[in-house]
């Protein structure tokens, strides 16, 4: 019965969008992370990884986001880095 109503309901009600956006923005607000801070983390990571592999600095993406905790019961902040690898350096072999 309840599921039937859910099915009939519009997919993404605007309040769900609001809640999602808020949760995300509050992770930033609460952790006091500035764009400069993220830039610093980013350049450090690039420096370390470049010792071992060739990476595409242009498309490298690093951001603070959220993910499910290990027990799956909570949503926790996470630092997600997407680093495309072009090739391995000799030191890494």
Partner 1 sequence: MGEVIVITSGKGGVGKTTTTANLGTGIALQGKKVVLIDTDIGLRNLDVVMGLENRIVYDLVDVIEGSCRLKQALIKDKRFDGLFLLPAPQTRDKNSVAPHQMVSLCEELKKEYDYIIVDCPAGIEQGFKNAIAGADRAFVITTPEVSAVRDADRIIGLLEANEIRDPQLIVNRVRADMVKRGDMMSIEDIIDILAIGLIGVVPDDENIIISTNRGEPAVNDNKSTAGQAYRNITKRIIGEEVPFINLNGSDGLLAKMKKLFGIKPA
- Catalog residues that contact partner 1 under the rule CB under 8 A: 9-10, 13-16, 18-19, 21-23, 25-26, 29-30
- Please report how close the Cβ of residue 36 comes to partner 1 at its closest, in angstroms: 20
Number of C-beta neighbours around residue 51 at 10 A: 9
Least Å distance, CB 54 to partner 1, is 41
Secondary structure (DSSP) of 6-57:
HHHS-SS-HHHHHHHHHHHHHHHHHHT--HHHHHHHHHHHHHHHHTTEEE-T
Complex with partner 1: residue 49 or 64, whichever CB lies closer: 64
CB of 10 to partner 1, least distance (A): 7
């Amino acid at each position: 019965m309840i599921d039937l109503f859910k099915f009939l309901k519009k997919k993404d009600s605007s309040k769900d969008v609001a809640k999602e956006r808020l949760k995300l923005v509050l992770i930033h607000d609460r952790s006091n992370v500035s764009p400069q801070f993220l830039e610093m983390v980013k350049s450090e990571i690039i420096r370390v990884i470049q010792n071992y592999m060739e990476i595409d600095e242009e498309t490298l993406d690093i951001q603070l986001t959220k993910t499910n905790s290990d027990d799956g019961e909570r949503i926790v902040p996470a630092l997600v880095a997407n680093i495309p690898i072009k090739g391995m350096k000799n030191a890494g072999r």
